[in-house]
């Protein structure tokens, strides 16, 4: 994937390019990544990139000329790399809130130019003429678009083929199928008096899968119930839920299903 970020603070992205999964993907060439600084396209001695807003008011607005030149420079680099049609994404509190569905959409592109604003924002004419999409990471205000850009790019890069050591890891994370993630455990078997759930040590893959699904469903129901509206359950998952509800009804009635019945429900 080809990625360029237009930012006044390219050093901030060292955390992403030098560390972890994203850093390894970039170093292996799975991702082509670069930063473009609008200050490099200013023509005055002070490398000015902002000015007071027309109409008055607090703060400063990023000037359109350096941003335009930076965007056109990034587009030319993309074309030279073989990606002539690269969308421009602006990180903005007014954009669509990023979620797993949005990440899947963005990953489908061969490349992106990500525009990071600062101060009170950027000149509206840049948005009108050059921005294809606006994305937000939540309903709050940050000092600039760099951190939201890194959040978005991190989520995208980890979903690219063969970037994760175990490709199934990305598929089993929270939100991938609409549900939150299940609890995870590792050694020791008992920590501070709390034991690892016995089912996870049985080696019975179907029972483990059932336990993990039920944990994920119950956590989502308790913590983010609105997510369940968009969840599409498989036939097996529906069967597990019915089995769990039946067992819960029996427990509330003071009865316990027999082990044979529990096995059949699996």
The enclosing domain of 219 has a CATH number of 1.10.1270.20
Task: Identify whether residues 35 and 159 lie together within a single domain.
Answer: yes
Residue 173 lies in a domain: no
Task: Identify whether residues 10 and 130 lie together within a single domain.
Answer: yes
According to the annotation, is 137 in a ligand binding site? yes
- Measured CA to CA, the distance from residue 78 to residue 76 in angstroms comes to 5
Could you say which of 106, 136, 167 is where a domain stops? 167
Task: Identify whether residues 132 and 226 lie together within a single domain.
Answer: no
Task: Identify whether residues 7 and 137 lie together within a single domain.
Answer: yes
Could you say which of 167, 202, 219 is where a domain stops? 167
Which pair of structure tokens corresponds to residue 50? 């902002």
Residue 117 lies in a domain: yes
Residue 180 lies in a domain: no
According to the annotation, is 254 in a ligand binding site? no
Phi, psi (rounded to 5 degrees) for 69: -65, -40
Crossing angle of the two packed helices 20-27 and 146-157, in degrees rounded to 10: 70
According to the annotation, is 144 in a ligand binding site? no
Catalytically active residues, by annotation: 93, 120, 158, 173
The total of structural domains in the chain comes to 2
Task: Identify whether residues 15 and 75 lie together within a single domain.
Answer: yes
Asked if the model's pLDDT at residue 60 lies above 90, the reply is yes
Among positive and negative, which fits the CA dihedral 126, 48, 153, 22? positive
- What is the pLDDT, as a whole number, of residue 260? 40
CB atoms within 10 A of CB 238: 10
Task: Identify whether residues 220 and 115 lie together within a single domain.
Answer: no
Residue 61 lies in a domain: yes
| Percent of the chain's residues with pLDDT above 90 | 82
Q: pLDDT tens for residues 84-105?
A: 999 999 999 999 999 999 999 9
According to the annotation, is 90 in a ligand binding site? no
Q: pLDDT tens for residues 189-216?
A: 999 999 999 999 999 999 999 999 999 9
Task: Identify whether residues 157 and 197 lie together within a single domain.
Answer: no
pLDDT band at 257 (very low <50, low <70, confident <90, very high): low
Task: Identify whether residues 127 and 198 lie together within a single domain.
Answer: no
Residue 244 lies in a domain: yes
Residue 184 lies in a domain: no
Task: Identify whether residues 126 and 9 lie together within a single domain.
Answer: yes
According to the annotation, is 138 in a ligand binding site? yes
According to the annotation, is 230 in a ligand binding site? no
Is residue 120 within 8 Å of residue 60, measured between CB atoms? yes
- What is the pLDDT, as a whole number, of residue 169? 53
Task: Identify whether residues 123 and 249 lie together within a single domain.
Answer: no
Residue 185 lies in a domain: no
Which of 202, 74, 182 is CA-nearest to residue 131? Answer: 74
Domain holding 260, by residue range, is 190-265
**What CATH number does residue 45 fall under?**
3.40.1280.10
């Amino acid at each position: 994937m080809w990625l360029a970020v237009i930012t006044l603070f390219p050093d901030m992205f060292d955390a992403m390019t030098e560390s972890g999964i994203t850093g390894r993907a970039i170093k292996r060439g799975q991702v082509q990544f670069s930063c473009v600084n609008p200050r490099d396209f200013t023509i005055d001695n002070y490398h000015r990139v902002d000015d007071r807003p027309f109409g008055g008011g607090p703060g400063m607005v990023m000037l359109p000329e350096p941003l335009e030149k930076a965007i056109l420079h990034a587009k030319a680099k993309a074309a030279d790399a073989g990606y002539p049609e690269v969308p421009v994404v602006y990180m903005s509190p007014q954009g669509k809130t990023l979620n797993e569905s949005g990440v899947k959409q963005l990953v489908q592109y061969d490349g992106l130019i990500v525009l990071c604003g600062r101060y009170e924002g950027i000149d509206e004419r840049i948005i009108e003429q050059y921005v294809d999409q606006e994305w937000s990471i939540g309903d709050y205000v940050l000092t600039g678009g760099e951190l939201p850009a890194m959040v978005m790019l991190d989520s995208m890069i980890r979903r690219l083929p063969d970037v994760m050591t175990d490709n199934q890891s990305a598929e089993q994370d929270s939100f991938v199928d609409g549900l939150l993630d299940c609890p995870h455990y590792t050694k020791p078997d008992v920590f501070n008096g709390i034991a690892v759930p016995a089912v996870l040590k049985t080696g019975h893959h179907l029972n483990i899968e059932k336990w993990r699904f039920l944990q994920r469903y119950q956590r989502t129901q308790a913590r983010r119930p609105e997510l369940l509206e968009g969840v599409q359950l498989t036939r097996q998952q529906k069967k597990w839920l019915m089995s769990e509800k039946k067992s819960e009804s029996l427990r509330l009635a003071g009865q316990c299903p027999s082990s044979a019945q529990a096995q059949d429900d699996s």
